[in-house]
Structure 1
Amino acid sequence: MENASTQPTTDAGHPRRWTILAVLVFSLLVVVLDNSILNVALRVIADPRQGLGATQSELEWAINSYTLVFAGLLFTWGVLGDRYGRKRVLLLGMALFGLASLVSAYAQSPGQLIVMRALMGFGGAAILPNSLAIITNVFSARERIKAFAVWSGAVGLAIAIGPVTGGFLLEHFWWGSIFLVNVPIVALGSALMLLVVPESRNPRPGRLDPLGVVLSIAALVTVVYGIIRAGQLGTWLTAEVLATLAVGLGLLVLFVRHEARSDHPALDVRLFRDPRLSASAAAIALVFFALMGVTFFMVFYLQSVRGFGPLESGAVLLPMAVAQLLLAPRSAALAQRFGTKAVAAGGLAGVALMLYAISFADRDLPIWQLEIILFLLGAGMAHVMSPVTDAVMTVVPREQAGAGSAINNISRQVGGALGVAVLGSLLSSVYRSRMGERLAFLPPGTRHAAGESIEATLAAARQAGPRGATLVGPAMDAFVHAMHVVAWCSAAVAALGVLVVLVWLPQRPHEGRPGAPAAPAGTEPARALRK
């Protein structure tokens, strides 16, 4: 039988496109699975007896070092995949991710873990945009939204598997097992890709744009770093944060001006004039801004306030992931029937309503009610991501699918980083304001640290003897109040996303301007696929 890598692609799509999609979806699991597992493990890694004794700041950097490198290199890896071969770059990313995961499992200090997490981000940044770019190239425009729906559903599957897998591993093995689980997934996924996934690239890449690539890395890294520092410091009004953001935005302006004037740009920034791209990217960023703030506090709500273990808290989060897994593939049919605008706006409205509903959760909320809210939250997400992802990829020419995929994922990462920084900072400041006077009896050296988070307060309470027990109840109440404030703000951001979609996103992105890159099946140029 002829190898899939050598079979031609017709206007109807690659003959083995659904098998290729299955392999890419399996490989995608490693990126999403890792982050969802790590969120459940934060408490254990912070424990000096079971983990590394990481401080709150070190825990943040274990997450943020990955985000910083990942977001900074998404565009670059997408451009390199378009030029040198998406399969080749994807396999390189898998190898780097697997190696960094193996070393992370045996890290001896928080510093080592942070460095290895950055290397994981280096590899992960090559995986995500090129997997989506390959999907764009092997499917026709008619089927592409269905493929993106399956791809989005796979994210839900990974979110489902992650917390439960992480909880099981933490209850039966040491903390490093949450990283070690990535290694067999990488090995099997890479082997399947070698056998099944075809190579593809831009057949007419033109000259390199090294200045554009360097400016994109510098701008994205600087902006994301400024966002992260704002979250760590708990304020945006410091010279360090403002200067970093100003430099990052300045570099971003230089990048846009350079790309607009270049006759061989790495990214044709004029594409952003098309509302299908700009409105979709904004919707992705806003929904992840809202969602990441909630997922950040939900683990602590379940473990620190409700007293659940890692496995139990992972199980509570399952409904949100199951909804995405089940409903994301169905969103394609709804988008084709009712239009992208209607489906995406309805999904965002559902997300906003469920985020608002979370603001009513207290210390005694029945878990079955929380699970219904999380299921409906996941249902809303399922009807946002695949339609707007398809809208983004419709605008970008197929030969630049890697760069287009990077735009989609950069929107997701920057929105998520902003959500963690802004909403995490809000959570911390509201919590500290509620706990300020109650911490007055603690020694001055520990008072400030104890007000940083509920986990820090509970740790200080354990060390303060009998009087420390008086802090436990107020700490939980203060955290729940802060959680409510964050949920309100998250709901408002999701509601803003509804407005963006209704005002700017066309009803049906495939019915864009004449000559749009995505054409109906049967009119598309053949893809450049190589062994």
Structure 2
Amino acid sequence: MATTDPTAGAAGPASTGVPEAGPAGGHPARWAILAVVCLAELVVVLDNTVLNVAIPSLTSELGATTADVQWMINAYALVQAGLLLGAGSAADRYGRKRMLLAGLVLFGAGSLAAGLAGSSAGLIAARAGMGVGAALLLTTTLAVVMQVFDADERPRAIGIWGAVNALAYAAGPVVGGLVLNHYWWGAVFLINIPVVLVGLVAVAVLVPESRDPRGGRPDLPGTALSVVGTTSVVYAVITGPEHGWTSSGVLVPALFGAAVLAAFARWERRAEHPMLDLELFRSRRFTGAVTGVVLITFGSGGALYLLTQQFQFVRGDSALQAGLNIAPFALTVVLVNFTGTSARLISRLGLPAVIASGMALMAAGLAVVALVGDGGYGGVLCGLVLMGAGCGCANPAIAEAIMGAIPKERAGAGAGVNGTLSELGTGLGVAVLGAVFVSRFGALLPDSVGTSESLPAALAQAPGAAERASVAGAFASGLQTGQLAGAAAVLLGGCVAGLLLGRAVRPVRGGAAGPPASPGAPGAPGAAEAPAVPGSPGER
């Protein structure tokens, strides 16, 4: 089944200010621009996990409490997730280069303030400021990629962008550990400054300005509603495992956030210049892609969270060792995309087949890790490689499907949707799979131990060696159940996304699709049914 041209059928002119160059139709400096935006993305994603290994230093040097440390970590993710939709819309409206530069400045200023912070409150505030810059950077980097690459090269470019994301996420604890071996905790933030300075110069010189020529007036009410609603929901997801899902501190913000998001949806349907066109959700292509991104991040984020516990509590690894043990997952993602394997598969098989098969492969890897996790590392390594190969193929295909379902001039909004759903999927994966694990663990604990949600606490209550062995077995069984649930979620997502996308790319007239064709080529299915138009007859 052939892929479809992501820009085909977009209503109105797609004037983005990017000059067409040569037969490929991309910007002359597109690969240098990709290197620049990937550098900016690298430091943003790195800071999601780099602080984890600095917790002991923060506790001793700043006198941080457990609650302080949690907010140091969560403030960055919370602000970032809450602003992604608004940041993407702002990039389309005011200029992607301008917002990329603004994001670098804010992220650099926040990094400097964090590195020099002298109190827990100061560090939390600085991390929140970094989150504002991070939201701008994550949306504008992907939006710029959409502008400077044509349909033929875009899958490979998005694959590299996604591979850098995976590499940075996995490298965070490793980089943090290496820096802390030689310097104080503030250095993990100050290393961002040289990268930001280089990025500012490179963006100013290389990246062309582009914006939505029909941006209209700013949708201030929609922006406010999206920020408040998304932030409230993400807060509930982040704090749910700690405070309990039925506690008022979780239920109130969750229900409030849901109500605000419902008001946001209602407003966007009536707004003259909406920041997010809700008609997109009537497109099978878009709906299939967003289903894929939520469930692949749900399964992978939750399963990797459980795997770190498996390495640290069952195998006795340090945080740094656990990070190194998981690194083959990210390295496989990098290999699959930097070699162009994922792009070639997308071109040959089409988006639906690559997403479905990639997510099935990732589910198989998750199942392998779950079933052999208490044995030697060799079995876990095989599972991680399978997970990386599947993720490396499916993720860029999902991003391409989402971005291709949105007119090119609204690329920032598409990047905001992709980023927001990724954050929500990962948070829900950690929360839900963590709850499955805790439930199974608690159900298998021996009566002599009582109830406990952590392995150390349960072991401390165990009266003898036999009970401690039962506790360890219950913990391993809980981890396995949670990981298998994640595998099932990823497999389900692959089936649903593949089915919806497969139906979306079928031609609406002219009979059979015929043999596979190049994306956007004359005679390809994409030319017949133009799936980028939400609500077209072939997509509902």
* TM-score when normalising by structure 2: 0.83
**Residue in 2 aligned with 1:394?**
404
Q: 1:43 to 1:360 in 2, by over 3 A?
A: farther
SS across alignment from 2:217: coil
- 1:313 alignment partner AA: A
- 1:92 alignment partner AA: A
**Residue in 2 aligned with 1:36?**
49
**Residue in 1 aligned with 2:6?**
none
**Residue in 2 aligned with 1:453?**
454
Q: Distance in 2 between matches of 1:275 and 1:168?
A: 46
- 1:480 alignment partner AA: A
Any unmatched runs of 5+ in structure 2? 1-15, 506-519, 534-540
SS across alignment from 1:199: coil
Q: Distance in 1 between matches of 2:141 and 2:132?
A: 15
> Are residues 1:244 and 2:253 paired?
yes
Q: 1:96 to 1:390 in 2, by over 3 A?
A: same
**Residue in 2 aligned with 1:338?**
349
Q: Judge which range, 152-161 or 283-292, deviates more.
A: 152-161
Deviation at 1:77, TM superposition (A): 0.8
After superposition, the CA RMSD in angstroms is 3.0
> Are residues 1:259 and 2:272 paired?
no
Q: Distance in 1 between matches of 2:27 and 2:176?
A: 36
- 2:359 alignment partner AA: L
**Residue in 1 aligned with 2:102?**
92
1:435-474 aligned at under 5 Å gives the runs: 451-454=452-455
- 1:250 alignment partner AA: A
Deviation at 1:439, TM superposition (A): 5.6
1:508-527 aligned at under 5 Å gives the runs: 511-512=525-526, 514=529, 517=532
**Residue in 2 aligned with 1:128?**
138
Residue-by-residue CA offset, 1:238-284 (whole Å, 9 max, x unaligned): 44433432322222222122211222211111112111111101110
**Residue in 1 aligned with 2:36?**
23
SS across alignment from 2:80: helix
> Are residues 1:483 and 2:479 paired?
yes
> Are residues 1:323 and 2:332 paired?
yes
**Residue in 2 aligned with 1:380?**
390
SS across alignment from 2:212: coil
Q: Judge which range, 74-83 or 471-480, deviates more.
A: 471-480
Q: Distance in 2 between matches of 1:177 and 1:472?
A: 41
Percent of aligned positions that are identical:
37
**Residue in 2 aligned with 1:147?**
157
Residue-by-residue CA offset, 1:99-142 (whole Å, 9 max, x unaligned): 22233335455544433332222111010111111111111122
Deviation at 1:348, TM superposition (A): 0.6
Deviation at 1:508, TM superposition (A): 7.8
Q: 1:228 to 1:22 in 2, by over 3 A?
A: same
Residue-by-residue CA offset, 1:30-49 (whole Å, 9 max, x unaligned): 1122223334x166458x45
**Residue in 1 aligned with 2:12?**
none
**Residue in 2 aligned with 1:521?**
none
SS across alignment from 1:183: helix
SS across alignment from 1:9: coil
Q: Distance in 2 between matches of 1:345 and 1:85?
A: 35
Any unmatched runs of 5+ in structure 1? 441-447, 519-531
Q: Distance in 1 between matches of 2:457 and 2:63?
A: 16
Q: Please point out which of 90, 97, 104 is paired with 1:80.
A: 90
Deviation at 1:148, TM superposition (A): 0.8
Deviation at 1:297, TM superposition (A): 2.6
Q: Distance in 2 between matches of 1:96 and 1:438?
A: 54
* TM-score when normalising by structure 1: 0.84
- 1:394 alignment partner AA: G
Q: Distance in 2 between matches of 1:357 and 1:310?
A: 22
Q: Distance in 1 between matches of 2:344 and 2:336?
A: 10
Deviation at 1:392, TM superposition (A): 0.9
Q: Distance in 2 between matches of 1:471 and 1:430?
A: 17
Q: Judge which range, 89-98 or 342-351, deviates more.
A: 89-98
Q: 1:322 to 1:91 in 2, by over 3 A?
A: same
1:252-291 aligned at under 5 Å gives the runs: 252-291=261-300
Q: Distance in 2 between matches of 1:469 and 1:89?
A: 60
Whether the 8 Å CA contact 1:37–1:162 is kept in 2: the answer is yes
Residue-by-residue CA offset, 1:44-73 (whole Å, 9 max, x unaligned): 458x45885642x55443333222211110
> Are residues 1:496 and 2:472 paired?
no
- 1:38 alignment partner AA: L
Deviation at 1:362, TM superposition (A): 4.6
> Are residues 1:209 and 2:191 paired?
no
